[in-house]
Amino acid sequence: MRLTKVMQETHSTLDDALQVVLVRTTHPGNIGAAARAMKTMGLHKLTLVEPNGFPSAEATSRASGADDVLAAANVCETLDQALSEATLVMGTSARLRSIPMPQLNPRQAIARAQQELTGGGRVALLFGQERSGLTNDEIGRCHALINIPSNPDYSSLNLGAAVQVICYEWAMCGGGKARPAEPKSEQDEIPATADMMEGFYQHLEQTLLAIEFLDPKQPVALMQRLRRLYGRARPTKSEIDILRGILAKTLKGSSNGQR
């Protein structure tokens, strides 16, 4: 009896740590369809970034009984707020993009997500706007891209359908029951959250400007490359603390930082 309870708690923790994030959704009906898709596959943690027209009767009607998922949805003004606790961020895209970043199919992506979750991390799966998908800046927040194999001449699924396919893979791979979470010996081994990484990138940019390594007229390209580099390394919180310590000393020592 007690064992069953403990196991259920472990499972619900894994489901709790997987977040479906809909970014700037235009049609409320698609938000409802996404909630329904999630609930049928055993997921419930929905985050909406700048949704257009939410809450709405259309979303509730399309959710068709998954209105508890809608009611509990976390509505955020910015993607950074939505991702603050995530340690692994993967973005879905109808097109394979020419970005040097791992591109996974749904099965590979869910396996990667389950690995992260069992290691104590938190995963966010991003879905873009109906017409334009995720912007380059939003993709810059991701560690990997997920592409649902489709007709090369007609590759764009409806948003709710794309959420369904990814959540179906989650259910097929055992969902939250796949592997019980292994307790970590040291909290430290968990990669830094997106929030910590954003703080680090701001600190890095400020320092690179102060030491005049970064050209203030063209800061974007270098910062994007550095984001990719550090994103690949998956630093832990204590490693970020070390890097920020180095930045703080560098800033203090630079003539611009002293002014």
Q: Is 8 in the site for ligand SAH (CB under 6 A)?
A: no
For residue 150, the minimal CB distance to ligand SAH (Å) is 4
Closer residue to ligand SAH (CB): 66 or 146: 146
Q: Which residues pair with 129 in a beta bridge?
A: 133
Residue 218 exposed, middle or buried by CB count within 10 Å (0-12, 13-18, 19+) = exposed
Query: Distance between CA atoms of 214 and 254, rounded to whole angstroms?
Result: 14
H/E element holding 26?
none
Q: Is 130 in the site for ligand SAH (CB under 6 A)?
A: yes
In the bound complex, which residue of the shown chain has the CB atom lying closest to ligand SAH? 133
- Interface residue with ligand SAH, options 94, 171, 222, 251 (CB under 6 A): 94
Contact segment (CB under 6 A) with ligand SAH among 10-18, 66-74, 93-101, 109-117 equals: 93-101
Query: Distance between CA atoms of 143 and 88, rounded to whole angstroms?
Result: 7
- Interface residue with ligand SAH, options 74, 78, 105, 150 (CB under 6 A): 150
224-243 residues in contact with ligand SAH (CB under 6 A) are: none
Residues 177-216, one symbol each (x = binds ligand SAH by CB under 6 A, - = not), give: ----------------------------------------
Closer residue to ligand SAH (CB): 11 or 141: 141
Q: Is 252 in the site for ligand SAH (CB under 6 A)?
A: no
For residue 101, the minimal CB distance to ligand SAH (Å) is 14
For residue 221, the minimal CB distance to ligand SAH (Å) is 23
Q: Is 170 in the site for ligand SAH (CB under 6 A)?
A: no
Query: Distance between CA atoms of 78 and 65, rounded to whole angstroms?
Result: 28
Residue 212 exposed, middle or buried by CB count within 10 Å (0-12, 13-18, 19+) = exposed
Query: Distance between CA atoms of 116 and 94, rounded to whole angstroms?
Result: 24
Q: Is 121 in the site for ligand SAH (CB under 6 A)?
A: no
- Interface residue with ligand SAH, options 20, 127, 138, 210 (CB under 6 A): 127
Cα 241 to Cα 132, 188, 196, 232: the distances in Å are 37, 11, 9, 17
Closest CA relative to residue 198, chosen from 242, 230, 239:
230
What is the token pair recorded at 149?
A: 């194999």
Q: Is 147 in the site for ligand SAH (CB under 6 A)?
A: yes
Q: Is 135 in the site for ligand SAH (CB under 6 A)?
A: no
Inter-axis angle of helices 220-233 and 194-210, to 10 degrees? 140
Q: What are the residues binding ligand SAH (CB under 6 A)?
A: 92-95, 127-128, 130, 132-134, 146-148, 150, 155-157, 159, 162
